[in-house]
Amino acid sequence: MCCRYLLLRAQLNEILVRLGVRGVSEAVSRYNIAPGTKIPAVRKKPGSGTRELAELSWGLVPTWANDDRVGTGLINARAESLTEKPSFRDAFRARRCLIPASGFYEWKAIGRVRQPWLFQLRSEPPFFLAGLWESWTAPDGATLETCAVITTEPNSLMQPIHHRMPAILPMEVADQWLEPTDQLDHLAAKFLLPFPPDQMMARLVSSRVNSAGNDDEGCLEPAGVDGDAGDGQLAWDL
C-alpha cells in the first residue's frame, strides 16, 4: 500500500510547467502527506480536454456511496482488480489522474520498532503516483472530489519492506495515462507494473514520519540522527 508521501513545492511547480498546466501552485512543501488530507493532482478538466491542477481529498468516495466515510478505507486501489471492483471500475475508465510526488514512505518492523523508509527515484527527480479520482454528491447537495493511489506488486527494492508499492509513472507517460481509452487491460499491463528497481533508491529516515502530525524537513533526517533505532543499514539501491 501507499499511505504517506513527500512533495516539494519546487518540484510540483516544475511538473506543472512541464505539463503545460496554467498557474503556479502556492502550496508549501509537504514532507509527510497522509490519507484524509487534500492533495494536488493533475487531471483532464471535466468537460474539457485541458489539464488542470485539482485539490482532491485522499480517500476515494464512489458516486453511489451513502456516506463519505467510506473513503477512509479506499485510499489505495489494487491494479490487478481495477476493472472488477465497483468502487474503482468507472473511475479507472474515465477519471484517471496523476499525483505528483518527490518520494514515498513505507515501514518495516525492526524488533518492536516500525522503521520508515523513504523511496525515491535516482537523482531525486519528481514523478507521479498513478491515481483515480471521483466526484461524490452529499445528501445536502455539496460536492466532494476524492482520489485513490493505485498500487501494484513490489519490485525487488521494495519487496524486503512491503508486499505492495504504488504504481509509479515517470513524466514522459503523463499524456498517455490521462488520455481517454477503452483499452483498459492494455493500459494496466503497460503502466501499472512494478517500477524498475535499478531506477530507484531507498534509505531509512527519522521516526518523526510515524506521526502524521509531523510535517517538516526533520522527517527526512537519516535514522539515528534524532535517536531513532537502526539496524546498521541506512540505505540501499541496486
Residues with catalytic annotation? 2, 106
Q: Are 100 and 128 in contact (CB under 8 A)?
A: yes
- State the first-to-last Cα distance of the chain, in angstroms, to the nearest integer: 22
Q: How far apart are CA 4 and CA 118, in angstroms?
A: 10
Integer angstrom CA distances of residue 185 from 60, 74, 105, 163, 221: 21, 21, 28, 22, 40
Cβ burial 180-212 (10 Å sphere, 16+ → b, else e): eeeeeeebbeebbebbebebbbbbbbbbbbbee
Cell of 176: 498517455
Q: How many CA atoms lie within 13 Å of 205's alpha carbon, on the beta-carbon side?
A: 27
* DSSP H/E element including 135: strand 127-137
